[in-house]
Structure 1
Amino acid sequence: MSGRGVNIHATAIVVGTTGLVFIGPSGSGKSMLAFDCLCEARLHGQFAALVADDQVFISRFGTHVVASRPETIKDLIELRHGGIARIASIPRALLHYAVVPVIRGEAKRLPPEKARETLFGEVSLPALHVPSDLRLPFSFINALIAS
């Protein structure tokens, strides 16, 4: 691992004090879900910021997992079929959950209890499985976090 961490293909955001990293293959809806969460949280008066889109440096400090951005993509998010958008970002954030976009017709009805997603090596986070076509993803994520 370099001083900046391990570079993974993901999107990281923070809403309030909760750090979320959206993981999955290219085209799975990571960026759009993250963008929708940012917009919805801001509409409800919550602090929300992008950390990084497409490339996220992941580091572990004791039991904490931290996401940081490459400066070359500061304030940029790719919205598939819409282009590159500018959105305020912060340089780093603690991560609490890995958000996994799923396709409703292909996913199991209920994810495994206490599911975790590995980011790299032995670094993992509790997993939140979220339908990629969900209209209000942050409300859905909030409900999962609160349970």
Structure 2
Amino acid sequence: MSASGPAAGRTNIHATAVLAGDRGILITGPSGAGKSTLAIALIGRLRAGGRFARLVADDQLFVSGHGGRLVCHAPPAISGLVEVFGLGPRELASEPAAVIDLVGRLVPAGAVARMQEEASEVIADCRVPRIDLPAGDVISAAQMLISWLRLPPFSGN
């Protein structure tokens, strides 16, 4: 791709991104860890509660830094598609880009600390807060993300 193409200045990473209200969440982890499943569950839970939630991109993202903020964009070839386990790619309402406020890193459940210390990760020269999420436990992982975002029931609203 040329330097003037749509991906100029961007890095392609293996991850899934969701926009939850005005907050961007980047979900990382190895293949098969449940990034897509977690994204679908999180979007469904937020929408069921009357909150805005959209997929940005599933499996591959273009990321770049802008003024110290991490921005991710959906590659055109997979924009609006999410992989449903056992069925393959399906269309899902999406946004073309998001500023990322949190990295949720899927790790083996036994590796998630009961009380996590503050952590961050540097992606595209941007430092972003990070929490570890239990791979294979969608309910707990979604609950952790909603709690971190301080959305109901964790907001006191």
Scaled by the length of structure 2, what TM-score is found? Answer: 0.82
Equivalent residues in 2 for 1:26-105, closer than 5 Å: 26-105=31-110
Equivalent residues in 2 for 1:129-140, closer than 5 Å: 129-132=132-135, 133-135=137-139, 137-140=141-144
**CA deviation string 1:54-103 (max 9, x = no partner):** 11011111121111011111110112323211101111111100011233
The 2-side partners of 1:23 and 1:43 are apart by: 24
* Residue in 2 that maps onto 1:123: 126
What amino acid sits opposite 2:144 in the alignment?
Answer: F
Quickly say closer, same or farther: Cα 1:130–1:141, change in 2 above 3 A: same
Quickly say closer, same or farther: Cα 1:35–1:4, change in 2 above 3 A: farther
Quickly say closer, same or farther: Cα 1:49–1:31, change in 2 above 3 A: same
Relative contact order, higher structure (CA 8 A, sep 6+)? 1
**CA deviation string 1:24-62 (max 9, x = no partner):** 111111111111111111110111111111110111111
Residue 114 (structure 1) aligned to one of 112, 118, 140:
118
Point out where structure 2 has 5 or more consecutive residues left out of the alignment. none
Asked if structure 2 preserves the Cα contact closer than 8 Å seen for 1:12 and 1:50, the reply is yes
Q: In angstroms, what is the RMSD of aligned CA positions?
A: 2.0
The 2-side partners of 1:14 and 1:135 are apart by: 18
Equivalent residues in 2 for 1:3-14, closer than 5 Å: 3=8, 5-14=10-19
Scaled by the length of structure 1, what TM-score is found? Answer: 0.87
Point out where structure 1 has 5 or more consecutive residues left out of the alignment. none
Asked if structure 1 preserves the Cα contact closer than 8 Å seen for 2:68 and 2:126, the reply is no
The 2-side partners of 1:108 and 1:140 are apart by: 12
The 1-side partners of 2:138 and 2:51 are apart by: 20
Larger radius of gyration: 2
- Which deviates the most, 11-20 or 127-136? 127-136
How big is the shift at 1:137?
A: 4.0
